[in-house]
Structure 1
Amino acid sequence: MPAAARVSWSPVGPDLVLEGDNLPVLRRLPDGAFRVAYLDPPFNSGREQRRRTTVTRHDPIGGTRMGFHGRPYDVVKGVVTRYDDAFPDYWAFLEPRLEEVWRLLAEDGTLYLHLDQREVHYAKVLLDALFGRECFLNEIVWAYDYGARTTRRWPAKHDTVLVYVKDPGRYLFDSAEVDREPYMAPGLVPPEKAALGKLPTDVWWHTIVSPTGREKTGYATQKPVGVVRRMLAASSRRGDWVLDPFAGSGTTGEAARLLGRRFLLVDENPDAVDVMRRRLGDGVVVARAAD
Protein backbone atom coordinates (compact mmCIF):
# COMPACT_ATOMS: atom_id res chain seq x y z
CA MET A 1 0.00 0.00 0.00
CA PRO A 2 1.49 3.41 -0.88
CA ALA A 3 2.55 5.68 1.96
CA ALA A 4 0.14 8.39 0.74
CA ALA A 5 -2.88 6.19 1.44
CA ARG A 6 -4.83 6.90 4.61
CA VAL A 7 -6.14 3.94 6.59
CA SER A 8 -7.57 3.19 10.00
CA TRP A 9 -6.73 0.35 12.38
CA SER A 10 -8.95 -2.73 12.56
CA PRO A 11 -8.63 -5.72 14.93
CA VAL A 12 -8.96 -8.01 11.89
CA GLY A 13 -6.60 -5.92 9.76
CA PRO A 14 -2.86 -6.20 9.14
CA ASP A 15 0.00 -5.08 11.35
CA LEU A 16 0.07 -1.36 10.84
CA VAL A 17 2.44 1.62 10.97
CA LEU A 18 0.67 4.99 10.88
CA GLU A 19 2.35 8.31 10.20
CA GLY A 20 0.69 11.17 12.06
CA ASP A 21 -0.02 12.80 15.41
CA ASN A 22 -0.75 9.96 17.82
CA LEU A 23 -3.42 11.78 19.86
CA PRO A 24 -6.16 11.88 17.18
CA VAL A 25 -5.21 8.32 16.20
CA LEU A 26 -5.64 7.13 19.80
CA ARG A 27 -8.99 8.93 20.14
CA ARG A 28 -10.42 7.01 17.19
CA LEU A 29 -9.46 3.56 18.49
CA PRO A 30 -12.02 1.36 20.31
CA ASP A 31 -11.99 0.77 24.08
CA GLY A 32 -10.02 -2.19 25.39
CA ALA A 33 -8.45 -3.13 22.05
CA PHE A 34 -4.86 -3.73 23.23
CA ARG A 35 -3.31 -6.15 25.70
CA VAL A 36 -0.09 -4.15 26.07
CA ALA A 37 0.86 -0.54 25.45
CA TYR A 38 4.53 0.37 25.41
CA LEU A 39 5.31 4.10 25.41
CA ASP A 40 8.81 5.44 24.89
CA PRO A 41 8.01 9.14 24.51
CA PRO A 42 10.62 11.87 24.06
CA PHE A 43 12.38 12.33 27.40
CA ASN A 44 12.12 16.14 27.44
CA SER A 45 15.89 16.49 27.49
CA GLY A 46 15.67 19.98 26.00
CA ARG A 47 17.77 19.21 22.93
CA GLU A 48 17.42 17.99 19.38
CA GLN A 49 18.20 14.29 19.01
CA ARG A 50 20.33 13.53 15.95
CA ARG A 51 21.97 10.44 14.57
CA ARG A 52 23.83 9.99 11.29
CA THR A 53 23.86 6.54 9.76
CA THR A 54 27.14 5.14 8.47
CA VAL A 55 27.83 2.32 6.05
CA THR A 56 31.11 0.40 6.08
CA ARG A 57 32.17 -0.86 2.65
CA HIS A 58 35.16 -2.81 1.35
CA ASP A 59 37.31 -0.50 -0.78
CA PRO A 60 40.51 -2.18 -2.08
CA ILE A 61 41.73 0.99 -3.81
CA GLY A 62 40.70 4.04 -1.79
CA GLY A 63 40.04 2.53 1.62
CA THR A 64 41.17 4.81 4.45
CA ARG A 65 41.03 2.24 7.29
CA MET A 66 42.35 -1.25 7.84
CA GLY A 67 40.06 -3.99 9.09
CA PHE A 68 40.03 -7.75 9.66
CA HIS A 69 42.89 -9.60 7.90
CA GLY A 70 44.21 -6.24 6.66
CA ARG A 71 41.25 -5.61 4.34
CA PRO A 72 40.98 -1.88 3.48
CA TYR A 73 37.60 -0.29 3.95
CA ASP A 74 35.93 3.11 4.05
CA VAL A 75 33.06 4.58 6.05
CA VAL A 76 30.32 6.37 4.12
CA LYS A 77 28.16 8.88 5.96
CA GLY A 78 24.46 8.58 5.33
CA VAL A 79 21.15 10.10 6.36
CA VAL A 80 20.73 12.16 9.51
CA THR A 81 17.66 11.29 11.58
CA ARG A 82 16.44 13.77 14.15
CA TYR A 83 13.55 14.88 16.32
CA ASP A 84 12.92 17.69 18.77
CA ASP A 85 13.09 16.53 22.40
CA ALA A 86 12.08 19.81 24.06
CA PHE A 87 8.56 20.70 25.18
CA PRO A 88 7.51 23.92 26.92
CA ASP A 89 4.83 21.99 28.84
CA TYR A 90 5.75 18.32 28.74
CA TRP A 91 2.84 17.04 30.78
CA ALA A 92 0.24 19.00 28.85
CA PHE A 93 1.57 17.01 25.90
CA LEU A 94 1.82 13.57 27.53
CA GLU A 95 -1.15 13.45 29.93
CA PRO A 96 -3.98 13.30 27.34
CA ARG A 97 -2.12 10.53 25.53
CA LEU A 98 -1.81 8.49 28.73
CA GLU A 99 -5.52 8.99 29.39
CA GLU A 100 -6.32 7.54 25.98
CA VAL A 101 -3.95 4.63 26.50
CA TRP A 102 -5.71 3.76 29.76
CA ARG A 103 -9.00 3.61 27.85
CA LEU A 104 -7.49 1.47 25.11
CA LEU A 105 -6.07 -1.21 27.40
CA ALA A 106 -8.00 -4.44 27.84
CA GLU A 107 -9.24 -5.13 31.37
CA ASP A 108 -6.27 -7.46 31.86
CA GLY A 109 -3.92 -5.14 29.98
CA THR A 110 -0.61 -3.57 31.00
CA LEU A 111 1.11 -0.25 30.37
CA TYR A 112 4.90 0.06 30.15
CA LEU A 113 5.99 3.71 30.25
CA HIS A 114 9.69 4.20 29.47
CA LEU A 115 11.28 7.42 30.78
CA ASP A 116 14.51 8.67 32.34
CA GLN A 117 15.33 10.54 35.53
CA ARG A 118 14.06 13.91 34.27
CA GLU A 119 10.33 13.13 34.31
CA VAL A 120 9.72 9.70 35.83
CA HIS A 121 8.82 10.98 39.31
CA TYR A 122 6.11 13.21 37.85
CA ALA A 123 4.87 10.32 35.73
CA LYS A 124 4.35 8.08 38.74
CA VAL A 125 2.19 10.66 40.49
CA LEU A 126 0.14 11.13 37.32
CA LEU A 127 -0.29 7.41 36.72
CA ASP A 128 -1.26 6.82 40.36
CA ALA A 129 -4.08 9.28 39.80
CA LEU A 130 -5.06 7.94 36.39
CA PHE A 131 -4.86 4.18 37.00
CA GLY A 132 -5.09 4.10 40.82
CA ARG A 133 -2.20 3.44 43.19
CA GLU A 134 -3.31 -0.17 43.55
CA CYS A 135 -2.65 -0.64 39.80
CA PHE A 136 1.07 0.09 40.10
CA LEU A 137 2.91 -3.17 39.41
CA ASN A 138 6.61 -2.40 39.07
CA GLU A 139 9.31 0.16 38.57
CA ILE A 140 11.82 -1.48 36.25
CA VAL A 141 15.35 -0.13 36.10
CA TRP A 142 17.05 -0.81 32.80
CA ALA A 143 20.77 -0.44 33.50
CA TYR A 144 23.48 -0.28 30.83
CA ASP A 145 27.13 0.73 30.65
CA TYR A 146 28.06 2.53 27.49
CA GLY A 147 28.60 6.05 26.20
CA ALA A 148 29.82 9.34 27.61
CA ARG A 149 30.98 9.56 31.20
CA THR A 150 31.33 12.39 33.67
CA THR A 151 33.68 12.92 36.60
CA ARG A 152 31.50 15.60 38.21
CA ARG A 153 28.66 13.31 39.35
CA TRP A 154 27.59 9.68 39.26
CA PRO A 155 27.16 8.89 35.54
CA ALA A 156 23.49 8.37 34.59
CA LYS A 157 23.39 4.87 33.11
CA HIS A 158 19.82 3.72 33.49
CA ASP A 159 16.28 4.34 32.29
CA THR A 160 13.11 3.66 34.26
CA VAL A 161 10.03 1.80 33.04
CA LEU A 162 6.84 2.25 35.06
CA VAL A 163 4.47 -0.71 34.85
CA TYR A 164 0.76 -0.24 35.56
CA VAL A 165 -2.11 -2.68 35.05
CA LYS A 166 -5.71 -1.85 34.18
CA ASP A 167 -7.15 -4.17 36.83
CA PRO A 168 -4.89 -5.48 39.64
CA GLY A 169 -7.12 -8.53 40.02
CA ARG A 170 -7.08 -9.62 36.38
CA TYR A 171 -3.80 -8.68 34.75
CA LEU A 172 -1.70 -11.12 32.76
CA PHE A 173 1.86 -11.92 33.82
CA ASP A 174 3.32 -15.11 32.37
CA SER A 175 6.71 -15.64 33.99
CA ALA A 176 7.17 -18.93 32.11
CA GLU A 177 7.51 -16.96 28.87
CA VAL A 178 10.21 -14.62 30.15
CA ASP A 179 13.84 -15.19 29.18
CA ARG A 180 16.00 -16.27 32.08
CA GLU A 181 19.32 -14.80 33.22
CA PRO A 182 22.51 -16.35 34.59
CA TYR A 183 22.91 -16.30 38.36
CA MET A 184 25.51 -13.77 39.46
CA ALA A 185 26.81 -16.35 41.96
CA PRO A 186 25.92 -19.72 40.40
CA GLY A 187 27.91 -21.56 43.03
CA LEU A 188 25.33 -20.61 45.66
CA VAL A 189 22.50 -22.54 44.00
CA PRO A 190 22.14 -26.21 43.00
CA PRO A 191 23.64 -27.08 39.60
CA GLU A 192 20.26 -27.67 37.98
CA LYS A 193 19.09 -24.20 39.02
CA ALA A 194 22.32 -22.64 37.82
CA ALA A 195 21.89 -24.31 34.43
CA LEU A 196 18.28 -23.08 34.15
CA GLY A 197 19.06 -19.52 35.15
CA LYS A 198 16.86 -17.18 37.15
CA LEU A 199 13.90 -15.00 36.38
CA PRO A 200 14.85 -11.35 35.95
CA THR A 201 14.19 -9.00 38.84
CA ASP A 202 13.07 -5.39 38.45
CA VAL A 203 16.65 -4.41 37.56
CA TRP A 204 17.54 -5.40 34.00
CA TRP A 205 21.18 -5.36 32.91
CA HIS A 206 21.04 -5.17 29.13
CA THR A 207 23.39 -3.48 26.71
CA ILE A 208 22.22 -0.67 24.45
CA VAL A 209 21.94 -1.19 20.70
CA SER A 210 25.50 -1.64 19.47
CA PRO A 211 26.62 1.25 17.25
CA THR A 212 28.16 -1.30 14.89
CA GLY A 213 25.74 -4.20 15.40
CA ARG A 214 23.24 -5.75 13.01
CA GLU A 215 20.30 -4.46 15.07
CA LYS A 216 21.22 -0.80 14.57
CA THR A 217 18.85 1.20 12.35
CA GLY A 218 20.50 4.60 12.65
CA TYR A 219 17.50 6.11 14.43
CA ALA A 220 18.28 8.28 17.46
CA THR A 221 17.36 6.71 20.84
CA GLN A 222 16.64 3.26 19.38
CA LYS A 223 15.91 0.74 22.15
CA PRO A 224 17.10 -2.90 22.15
CA VAL A 225 14.70 -5.60 21.00
CA GLY A 226 15.66 -7.71 24.03
CA VAL A 227 14.31 -5.14 26.48
CA VAL A 228 10.93 -4.70 24.78
CA ARG A 229 10.57 -8.38 23.96
CA ARG A 230 10.76 -9.25 27.66
CA MET A 231 7.83 -6.94 28.43
CA LEU A 232 5.64 -8.32 25.66
CA ALA A 233 6.47 -11.92 26.53
CA ALA A 234 5.35 -11.46 30.13
CA SER A 235 2.23 -9.39 29.55
CA SER A 236 0.65 -10.70 26.34
CA ARG A 237 -0.17 -13.90 24.48
CA ARG A 238 0.25 -14.95 20.87
CA GLY A 239 -2.17 -13.08 18.65
CA ASP A 240 -2.68 -10.18 21.08
CA TRP A 241 -2.51 -6.61 19.85
CA VAL A 242 0.31 -4.36 21.07
CA LEU A 243 0.20 -0.56 20.85
CA ASP A 244 3.18 1.82 20.57
CA PRO A 245 2.19 5.47 19.99
CA PHE A 246 5.82 6.72 19.94
CA ALA A 247 7.17 3.98 17.73
CA GLY A 248 10.48 5.57 16.65
CA SER A 249 12.62 2.91 15.03
CA GLY A 250 9.95 0.19 15.27
CA THR A 251 11.54 -1.94 18.01
CA THR A 252 8.10 -2.79 19.44
CA GLY A 253 6.98 -4.07 16.05
CA GLU A 254 10.05 -6.26 15.68
CA ALA A 255 9.69 -7.66 19.21
CA ALA A 256 5.97 -8.30 18.67
CA ARG A 257 6.61 -10.10 15.40
CA LEU A 258 9.23 -12.36 17.00
CA LEU A 259 6.66 -13.37 19.63
CA GLY A 260 3.67 -13.80 17.31
CA ARG A 261 1.87 -10.66 18.52
CA ARG A 262 0.06 -8.11 16.36
CA PHE A 263 1.05 -4.45 16.45
CA LEU A 264 -0.06 -0.90 15.78
CA LEU A 265 2.80 1.61 15.66
CA VAL A 266 2.32 5.37 15.37
CA ASP A 267 4.84 8.15 14.81
CA GLU A 268 4.57 11.59 13.26
CA ASN A 269 8.25 11.77 12.30
CA PRO A 270 8.74 10.86 8.60
CA ASP A 271 12.30 9.72 9.41
CA ALA A 272 10.92 7.20 11.90
CA VAL A 273 8.33 5.93 9.45
CA ASP A 274 10.99 5.44 6.78
CA VAL A 275 13.13 3.48 9.25
CA MET A 276 10.17 1.28 10.20
CA ARG A 277 9.27 0.68 6.55
CA ARG A 278 12.77 -0.65 5.87
CA ARG A 279 13.07 -2.54 9.14
CA LEU A 280 9.70 -4.31 9.18
CA GLY A 281 9.53 -5.06 5.47
CA ASP A 282 6.62 -6.26 3.36
CA GLY A 283 4.64 -7.87 6.17
CA VAL A 284 3.36 -4.55 7.51
CA VAL A 285 1.14 -1.81 6.05
CA VAL A 286 2.66 1.68 6.26
CA ALA A 287 0.24 4.55 5.75
CA ARG A 288 -0.82 8.01 6.71
CA ALA A 289 -3.25 8.17 9.62
CA ALA A 290 -6.84 8.70 8.53
CA ASP A 291 -8.20 12.24 8.82
Structure 2
Amino acid sequence: MDWGDASRDLVVHADNLEVLPRIPDGAFTTIYLDPPFNTGRSQKRERLRTVRSTEGKRIGFGGHTYEQIVTGLMAYDDTFADYWSFLFPRLEHAWRLLAEDGTLYLHLDYREVHYAKVALDALFGRECFLNEIIWAYDYGARTTKKWPAKHDTILVYVKDPKRYHFDSAEVDREPYMAPGLVTPEKAARGKLPTDVWWHTIVSPTGKEKTGYPTQKPEGILRRMIAASSRPGDRVADFFAGSGTLGAVAQTLGRRFVCIDASADAVDVMRKRLGDGPTYVALPHPVG
Protein backbone atom coordinates (compact mmCIF):
# COMPACT_ATOMS: atom_id res chain seq x y z
CA MET A 1 0.00 0.00 0.00
CA ASP A 2 1.51 3.32 -1.10
CA TRP A 3 0.84 5.67 1.80
CA GLY A 4 2.95 8.31 0.13
CA ASP A 5 0.42 8.80 -2.67
CA ALA A 6 -1.54 11.71 -1.22
CA SER A 7 -3.73 11.94 -4.33
CA ARG A 8 -5.73 8.85 -3.35
CA ASP A 9 -8.66 8.62 -0.98
CA LEU A 10 -8.48 5.40 1.03
CA VAL A 11 -10.99 3.30 2.97
CA VAL A 12 -9.13 0.62 4.92
CA HIS A 13 -10.83 -2.41 6.50
CA ALA A 14 -8.57 -3.31 9.40
CA ASP A 15 -7.84 -2.82 13.07
CA ASN A 16 -6.41 0.69 13.05
CA LEU A 17 -3.54 -0.32 15.32
CA GLU A 18 -2.38 -2.67 12.56
CA VAL A 19 -2.50 0.14 10.00
CA LEU A 20 -1.18 3.22 11.80
CA PRO A 21 2.45 2.09 12.23
CA ARG A 22 2.69 1.76 8.42
CA ILE A 23 1.78 5.42 7.76
CA PRO A 24 4.66 7.93 7.62
CA ASP A 25 5.03 10.74 10.16
CA GLY A 26 3.16 13.98 9.54
CA ALA A 27 0.79 12.51 6.97
CA PHE A 28 -2.36 14.43 7.97
CA THR A 29 -3.35 18.04 8.51
CA THR A 30 -6.48 17.10 10.46
CA ILE A 31 -7.29 13.93 12.39
CA TYR A 32 -10.78 13.33 13.78
CA LEU A 33 -11.20 10.50 16.28
CA ASP A 34 -14.62 9.28 17.39
CA PRO A 35 -13.67 6.14 19.33
CA PRO A 36 -16.14 3.94 21.23
CA PHE A 37 -17.30 5.82 24.30
CA ASN A 38 -16.95 2.85 26.69
CA THR A 39 -20.66 2.98 27.50
CA GLY A 40 -20.64 -0.57 28.85
CA ARG A 41 -23.32 -1.77 26.46
CA SER A 42 -23.74 -3.01 22.93
CA GLN A 43 -24.51 -0.31 20.35
CA LYS A 44 -27.17 -1.50 17.92
CA ARG A 45 -29.11 -0.10 15.00
CA GLU A 46 -31.80 -2.13 13.25
CA ARG A 47 -32.50 -1.71 9.54
CA LEU A 48 -36.25 -1.59 8.97
CA ARG A 49 -38.49 -1.79 5.93
CA THR A 50 -42.18 -0.86 5.84
CA VAL A 51 -44.46 -3.20 3.86
CA ARG A 52 -48.19 -3.46 3.30
CA SER A 53 -49.76 -6.14 5.46
CA THR A 54 -53.28 -7.10 6.43
CA GLU A 55 -51.96 -7.68 9.95
CA GLY A 56 -50.08 -4.38 10.21
CA LYS A 57 -50.91 -1.91 12.96
CA ARG A 58 -49.88 1.24 11.08
CA ILE A 59 -52.60 2.80 8.94
CA GLY A 60 -51.63 4.81 5.89
CA PHE A 61 -53.23 6.47 2.86
CA GLY A 62 -56.52 4.93 1.76
CA GLY A 63 -56.82 2.96 4.98
CA HIS A 64 -54.12 0.45 3.99
CA THR A 65 -52.28 -1.19 6.88
CA TYR A 66 -48.52 -1.58 7.12
CA GLU A 67 -45.94 -3.26 9.31
CA GLN A 68 -42.20 -2.81 9.75
CA ILE A 69 -39.90 -5.77 9.30
CA VAL A 70 -36.27 -5.99 10.38
CA THR A 71 -33.96 -6.44 7.39
CA GLY A 72 -30.63 -6.27 9.19
CA LEU A 73 -28.76 -5.34 12.34
CA MET A 74 -25.54 -3.39 12.84
CA ALA A 75 -23.90 -3.66 16.24
CA TYR A 76 -20.64 -3.44 18.13
CA ASP A 77 -19.65 -4.05 21.72
CA ASP A 78 -18.81 -0.79 23.48
CA THR A 79 -17.31 -2.31 26.63
CA PHE A 80 -13.62 -2.22 27.54
CA ALA A 81 -12.17 -3.66 30.73
CA ASP A 82 -9.11 -1.44 30.29
CA TYR A 83 -10.20 1.41 28.04
CA TRP A 84 -6.95 3.36 28.17
CA SER A 85 -4.76 0.45 27.14
CA PHE A 86 -6.99 0.44 24.04
CA LEU A 87 -7.12 4.18 23.32
CA PHE A 88 -3.76 5.61 24.39
CA PRO A 89 -1.59 3.81 21.79
CA ARG A 90 -3.89 5.16 19.09
CA LEU A 91 -3.55 8.70 20.48
CA GLU A 92 0.24 8.31 20.37
CA HIS A 93 -0.01 7.48 16.67
CA ALA A 94 -2.35 10.44 16.14
CA TRP A 95 0.33 12.78 17.55
CA ARG A 96 3.00 11.23 15.30
CA LEU A 97 0.84 11.36 12.19
CA LEU A 98 -0.15 15.01 12.51
CA ALA A 99 1.66 17.48 10.27
CA GLU A 100 3.46 20.35 12.01
CA ASP A 101 0.48 22.59 11.26
CA GLY A 102 -1.98 19.84 12.12
CA THR A 103 -4.96 19.57 14.50
CA LEU A 104 -6.50 16.65 16.40
CA TYR A 105 -10.20 16.52 17.27
CA LEU A 106 -11.02 13.83 19.87
CA HIS A 107 -14.75 13.22 20.29
CA LEU A 108 -15.90 11.63 23.58
CA ASP A 109 -18.62 12.01 26.19
CA TYR A 110 -18.64 12.47 29.96
CA ARG A 111 -17.48 8.92 30.72
CA GLU A 112 -13.87 9.27 29.58
CA VAL A 113 -13.28 12.83 28.38
CA HIS A 114 -11.74 14.10 31.63
CA TYR A 115 -9.17 11.32 31.62
CA ALA A 116 -8.53 12.07 27.94
CA LYS A 117 -7.71 15.71 28.75
CA VAL A 118 -5.04 14.63 31.22
CA ALA A 119 -3.64 12.05 28.78
CA LEU A 120 -3.48 14.52 25.89
CA ASP A 121 -1.88 17.20 28.05
CA ALA A 122 0.88 14.70 28.78
CA LEU A 123 1.18 13.53 25.19
CA PHE A 124 0.95 16.86 23.31
CA GLY A 125 1.87 19.30 26.08
CA ARG A 126 -0.62 21.63 27.77
CA GLU A 127 0.46 24.48 25.52
CA CYS A 128 -0.92 22.53 22.55
CA PHE A 129 -4.47 22.44 23.94
CA LEU A 130 -6.62 24.68 21.71
CA ASN A 131 -10.27 24.16 22.64
CA GLU A 132 -12.88 22.15 24.45
CA ILE A 133 -15.89 22.10 22.12
CA ILE A 134 -19.30 21.23 23.53
CA TRP A 135 -21.67 19.71 20.99
CA ALA A 136 -25.14 20.19 22.46
CA TYR A 137 -28.24 18.46 21.07
CA ASP A 138 -31.76 17.75 22.25
CA TYR A 139 -32.84 14.25 21.32
CA GLY A 140 -33.01 10.81 22.90
CA ALA A 141 -33.82 9.36 26.30
CA ARG A 142 -34.84 11.49 29.25
CA THR A 143 -34.46 11.04 32.97
CA THR A 144 -36.11 12.73 35.95
CA LYS A 145 -33.47 11.56 38.44
CA LYS A 146 -30.66 13.83 37.23
CA TRP A 147 -29.92 16.47 34.57
CA PRO A 148 -30.29 14.63 31.25
CA ALA A 149 -26.96 14.24 29.43
CA LYS A 150 -27.40 16.05 26.10
CA HIS A 151 -23.92 16.92 24.95
CA ASP A 152 -20.64 15.41 23.79
CA THR A 153 -17.19 16.93 24.25
CA ILE A 154 -14.58 17.38 21.51
CA LEU A 155 -11.04 18.08 22.68
CA VAL A 156 -8.91 20.03 20.20
CA TYR A 157 -5.11 19.82 20.25
CA VAL A 158 -2.53 21.16 17.78
CA LYS A 159 0.87 19.75 16.95
CA ASP A 160 2.61 23.12 17.20
CA PRO A 161 0.84 26.09 18.85
CA LYS A 162 2.87 28.51 16.71
CA ARG A 163 2.20 26.87 13.34
CA TYR A 164 -1.27 25.32 13.33
CA HIS A 165 -3.72 26.14 10.54
CA PHE A 166 -7.08 27.70 11.46
CA ASP A 167 -9.24 29.65 9.01
CA SER A 168 -12.40 31.00 10.64
CA ALA A 169 -13.49 32.59 7.35
CA GLU A 170 -14.23 29.11 5.97
CA VAL A 171 -16.60 28.16 8.81
CA ASP A 172 -20.39 28.32 8.48
CA ARG A 173 -22.00 31.09 10.46
CA GLU A 174 -24.88 30.94 12.96
CA PRO A 175 -27.86 33.22 13.61
CA TYR A 176 -27.48 35.67 16.47
CA MET A 177 -29.59 34.69 19.48
CA ALA A 178 -30.54 38.36 19.90
CA PRO A 179 -30.34 39.81 16.37
CA GLY A 180 -31.92 43.05 17.51
CA LEU A 181 -28.75 43.87 19.49
CA VAL A 182 -26.50 43.97 16.40
CA THR A 183 -26.61 45.87 13.13
CA PRO A 184 -28.83 44.55 10.32
CA GLU A 185 -25.68 43.75 8.32
CA LYS A 186 -24.29 41.61 11.14
CA ALA A 187 -27.62 39.93 11.71
CA ALA A 188 -27.88 39.01 8.03
CA ARG A 189 -24.33 37.64 7.96
CA GLY A 190 -24.60 35.70 11.22
CA LYS A 191 -21.88 35.10 13.80
CA LEU A 192 -18.97 32.71 14.01
CA PRO A 193 -19.63 29.66 16.16
CA THR A 194 -18.17 29.66 19.66
CA ASP A 195 -16.93 26.57 21.50
CA VAL A 196 -20.55 25.52 22.13
CA TRP A 197 -22.14 24.01 19.01
CA TRP A 198 -25.91 23.61 18.98
CA HIS A 199 -26.52 21.06 16.25
CA THR A 200 -29.12 18.35 15.88
CA ILE A 201 -28.14 14.69 15.69
CA VAL A 202 -28.59 12.80 12.42
CA SER A 203 -32.33 12.67 11.83
CA PRO A 204 -33.71 9.10 11.95
CA THR A 205 -35.78 9.95 8.86
CA GLY A 206 -33.40 12.33 7.07
CA LYS A 207 -31.47 11.85 3.84
CA GLU A 208 -28.16 11.82 5.70
CA LYS A 209 -29.07 8.71 7.74
CA THR A 210 -27.09 5.56 6.89
CA GLY A 211 -28.45 3.31 9.64
CA TYR A 212 -25.03 2.98 11.26
CA PRO A 213 -24.94 3.17 15.09
CA THR A 214 -23.49 6.39 16.53
CA GLN A 215 -23.37 8.14 13.13
CA LYS A 216 -22.29 11.78 13.55
CA PRO A 217 -23.83 14.64 11.51
CA GLU A 218 -21.93 16.11 8.58
CA GLY A 219 -22.41 19.64 9.91
CA ILE A 220 -20.19 18.90 12.92
CA LEU A 221 -17.37 17.43 10.83
CA ARG A 222 -17.65 20.15 8.19
CA ARG A 223 -16.75 22.86 10.70
CA MET A 224 -13.64 21.00 11.83
CA ILE A 225 -12.37 20.15 8.36
CA ALA A 226 -13.15 23.58 6.89
CA ALA A 227 -11.38 25.43 9.70
CA SER A 228 -8.37 23.19 10.24
CA SER A 229 -7.37 22.10 6.73
CA ARG A 230 -7.04 23.51 3.21
CA PRO A 231 -8.25 22.15 -0.13
CA GLY A 232 -5.94 19.32 -1.13
CA ASP A 233 -4.82 18.59 2.45
CA ARG A 234 -5.03 15.05 3.77
CA VAL A 235 -7.39 14.27 6.67
CA ALA A 236 -8.05 11.05 8.56
CA ASP A 237 -10.49 9.17 10.77
CA PHE A 238 -9.21 6.01 12.49
CA PHE A 239 -12.70 5.00 13.74
CA ALA A 240 -14.51 5.88 10.53
CA GLY A 241 -17.86 4.15 11.16
CA SER A 242 -20.35 5.43 8.61
CA GLY A 243 -17.71 7.52 6.81
CA THR A 244 -18.92 11.01 7.72
CA LEU A 245 -15.38 12.42 7.54
CA GLY A 246 -14.95 10.95 4.06
CA ALA A 247 -18.28 12.38 2.88
CA VAL A 248 -17.36 15.85 4.16
CA ALA A 249 -13.84 15.65 2.72
CA GLN A 250 -15.27 14.83 -0.70
CA THR A 251 -17.45 17.95 -0.70
CA LEU A 252 -14.63 20.19 0.58
CA GLY A 253 -11.91 18.95 -1.76
CA ARG A 254 -9.74 17.24 0.87
CA ARG A 255 -8.02 13.86 0.48
CA PHE A 256 -8.98 11.36 3.17
CA VAL A 257 -8.08 8.09 4.84
CA CYS A 258 -10.88 6.27 6.69
CA ILE A 259 -10.05 3.17 8.75
CA ASP A 260 -12.49 0.81 10.46
CA ALA A 261 -12.38 -2.77 11.73
CA SER A 262 -16.07 -3.43 11.06
CA ALA A 263 -17.27 -5.05 7.85
CA ASP A 264 -20.64 -3.33 8.36
CA ALA A 265 -18.89 0.06 8.50
CA VAL A 266 -17.01 -0.60 5.26
CA ASP A 267 -20.23 -1.69 3.53
CA VAL A 268 -21.91 1.55 4.62
CA MET A 269 -18.94 3.60 3.39
CA ARG A 270 -19.00 1.88 -0.02
CA LYS A 271 -22.62 2.90 -0.47
CA ARG A 272 -22.05 6.40 0.87
CA LEU A 273 -18.72 7.30 -0.75
CA GLY A 274 -19.11 5.44 -4.03
CA ASP A 275 -16.29 4.35 -6.32
CA GLY A 276 -14.02 7.34 -5.73
CA PRO A 277 -11.91 5.96 -2.86
CA THR A 278 -9.59 2.97 -3.05
CA TYR A 279 -10.88 0.19 -0.78
CA VAL A 280 -8.23 -1.91 0.94
CA ALA A 281 -8.51 -4.83 3.40
CA LEU A 282 -5.58 -6.02 5.44
CA PRO A 283 -5.12 -9.81 5.64
CA HIS A 284 -7.11 -10.28 8.84
CA PRO A 285 -9.78 -7.58 9.16
CA VAL A 286 -12.47 -7.89 11.79
CA GLY A 287 -16.14 -8.45 10.94
Fold shared, TM-score > 0.5 on shorter chain: yes
| Distance change (3 Å), C-alpha of 1:262 and 1:56 | farther
Q: Distance in 1 between matches of 2:105 and 2:49?
A: 33
Tell whether the 8 Å contact from 1:9 to 1:264 is kept in structure 2 after alignment.
no
Structure 2 match to 1:248: 241
Choose which of 141, 147, 151 in structure 2 pairs with 1:158: 151
Q: Which range moves more in the overlay, 34-43 or 71-80? A: 71-80
Q: CA deviation at 1:286?
A: 1.7
Structure 2 match to 1:109: 102
SS of 1:256's partner is helix
| Distance change (3 Å), C-alpha of 1:152 and 1:8 | farther
| Distance change (3 Å), C-alpha of 1:263 and 1:69 | farther
Q: For 1:146, give the aligned amino acid.
A: Y
Q: For 1:11, give the aligned amino acid.
A: D
Structure 1 match to 2:14: 20
SS of 2:201's partner is coil
RMSD between aligned residues: 1.8
Structure 1 match to 2:91: 98
Q: For 1:106, give the aligned amino acid.
A: A
Structure 2 match to 1:188: 181
Tell whether the 8 Å contact from 2:105 to 2:156 is kept in structure 1 after alignment.
yes
Tell whether the 8 Å contact from 2:7 to 2:255 is kept in structure 1 after alignment.
no
Q: For 1:136, give the aligned amino acid.
A: F
Structure-to-structure mapping, 1:57-72, within 5 angstroms? 59=52, 64-67=57-60
Tell whether the 8 Å contact from 1:11 to 1:33 is kept in structure 2 after alignment.
no
**Structure 1 gaps, min length 5:** 1-6
Structure 2 match to 1:231: 224
Q: For 1:249, give the aligned amino acid.
A: S
**Structure 2 gaps, min length 5:** none
Tell whether the 8 Å contact from 1:9 to 1:16 is kept in structure 2 after alignment.
no
Determine whether 1:279 maps to 2:272. yes
| Distance change (3 Å), C-alpha of 1:259 and 1:75 | same
Tell me the percent identity: 69
Tell whether the 8 Å contact from 1:267 to 1:273 is kept in structure 2 after alignment.
yes
Q: TM-score, normalised by structure 1?
A: 0.93
Q: CA deviation at 1:73?
A: 5.0
Q: Distance in 1 between matches of 2:7 and 2:80?
A: 34
Q: Distance in 2 between matches of 1:182 and 1:257?
A: 26
SS of 1:282's partner is coil
Q: TM-score, normalised by structure 2?
A: 0.94
1:68-113 Cα shifts (integer Å, max 9, x gaps):
7877654332210001101111001111110011000000000000
Q: Distance in 1 between matches of 2:171 and 2:64?
A: 41
| Distance change (3 Å), C-alpha of 1:75 and 1:191 | same
Choose which of 211, 214, 218 in structure 2 pairs with 1:218: 211
Choose which of 27, 46, 50 in structure 1 pairs with 2:44: 50
Q: For 1:93, give the aligned amino acid.
A: F
Determine whether 1:270 maps to 2:270. no
Q: For 2:11, give the aligned amino acid.
A: V
Q: For 1:44, give the aligned amino acid.
A: N
Counting matched residue pairs gives 284
Tell whether the 8 Å contact from 1:112 to 1:163 is kept in structure 2 after alignment.
yes
Q: CA deviation at 1:65?
A: 2.7
Q: Distance in 2 between matches of 1:126 and 1:46?
A: 21
SS of 1:211's partner is coil
1:3-51 Cα shifts (integer Å, max 9, x gaps):
xxxx453434521111111012111100101000000000001111111
| Distance change (3 Å), C-alpha of 1:186 and 1:232 | same
Tell whether the 8 Å contact from 1:139 to 1:162 is kept in structure 2 after alignment.
yes
SS of 1:286's partner is strand
Structure 2 match to 1:4: none
1:170-209 Cα shifts (integer Å, max 9, x gaps):
0011000000000000000000000000000000000000
SS of 1:233's partner is helix
